[in-house]
Amino acid sequence: MLYGAIEAGGTKFVCAVGDEKGNLIERIQIPTTVPDETMPEVIRFFSEYQLDAMGIGSFGPINVDTTSPTYGNITTTPKPGWKDYPLLQTIKEEFEVPVGFHTDVNAAALGESKVGAAAGLDSCLYITVGTGIGAGAVVGGRLLQGLSHPEMGHIAIRKHPDDLYKGRCPYHHDCLEGLASGPAIEERWGKPASNLADRDEVWELEAYYIAQAIAQYILILSPQKIILGGGVSKQEQIFPLIHNQVKKVLNGYVSLPELETKVADYIVKPGLGDDAGIIGSLLLADLAYQQKG
């Protein structure tokens, strides 16, 4: 099989072709400007291939209700030109093959669950901490969605008593994303997160917030593996801090080795590195092909 994959992000579109095992054959990156500029380049790239199916993992929020007339649209983004943009429809009309469509984080969760850090397990959670915070999940071998897709970055968490930063989520101010995204770190501390590597207090506070969220996800979803990706997670010193904080928050209540002695093997880096999203999108194409969607 030859599949096409699109990881549609707010700053760039990664486009790739590959096979049903998640092997990438060719890839390009296209800047996300406005649809009239970005999409013709996306289409040009794939036009050279005879594809059997395609998969899209998109930034959101997106409409994932297959019965809706606007299924496959990007919905409420502030990004100029992309609000209500029919991303799935545009690709389907051009290529006339089955196309799988999910959030970027659900695609990454699928990639990690099939050929990454959670291979062999039938559940996992993939969290990205970058420009925004979001998570996707595979539960019982299926991608988690219902009324819409989960929005796990916008949960309420307890503010640290010493943290005076007000938060930057336009909807909720001090939700998880409002307090702990890359831009929130930069605004709170006055420097980009990547320039704060040696400031222990930055990563202690970040771990305090991320660990609270992870504890909630564990209590609600009980995933067999938690994968933490995104730009901010490149600060690897945060992993042991998160491991300790998660143990502290759960306080022995979920009494399993994964949450005690083996926590470092339970909350891990992406097995696929930065390719979780694009490889997952390729595997979305395979799902669409199997379902002839």
Positions touching Zn ion (CB under 5 A) are: 154, 169, 171-172, 175
Residue 89 makes CB contacts below 8 A (sequence gap 6+) with 72, 73
Is 10 an interacting residue with respect to ligand ADP (CB under 6 A)? Answer: yes
Closer to Zn ion at the Cβ: 118 or 180?
180
Judged by CB under 6 A, which of 130, 136, 150, 167 binds ligand ADP?
130
User: Of all residues in this chain, which one has the CB nearest to ligand ADP in the complex?
Assistant: 182
Residue 56 makes CB contacts below 8 A (sequence gap 6+) with 5, 6, 8, 87, 88, 91, 99, 100, 101, 102, 107, 281, 284
Closer to ligand ADP at the Cβ: 226 or 232?
232
Candidates 3-11, 28-36, 142-150, 205-213: pick the segment binding ligand ADP (CB under 6 A).
3-11
Judged by CB under 6 A, which of 106, 235, 245, 281 binds ligand ADP?
235
Closer to ligand ADP at the Cβ: 172 or 234?
234
Judged by CB under 6 A, which of 33, 70, 131, 224 binds ligand ADP?
131
Is 81 an interacting residue with respect to ligand ADP (CB under 6 A)? Answer: no
Phi and psi at residue 16, to the nearest 5°: -150, 155
CB 165 within 8 A of CB 175: no
Closer to Zn ion at the Cβ: 27 or 172?
172
The residues with which 81 forms a beta bridge, in sequence order, are none
Is 61 an interacting residue with respect to ligand ADP (CB under 6 A)? Answer: no
Angstrom distance (rounded) from CA 262 to CA 169? 34
Angstrom distance (rounded) from CA 290 to CA 98? 9
Angstrom distance (rounded) from CA 68 to CA 72? 9
Q: Write out the residues near ligand ADP by the rule CB under 6 A.
A: 9-11, 128, 130-131, 182-183, 192-194, 230-232, 234-235
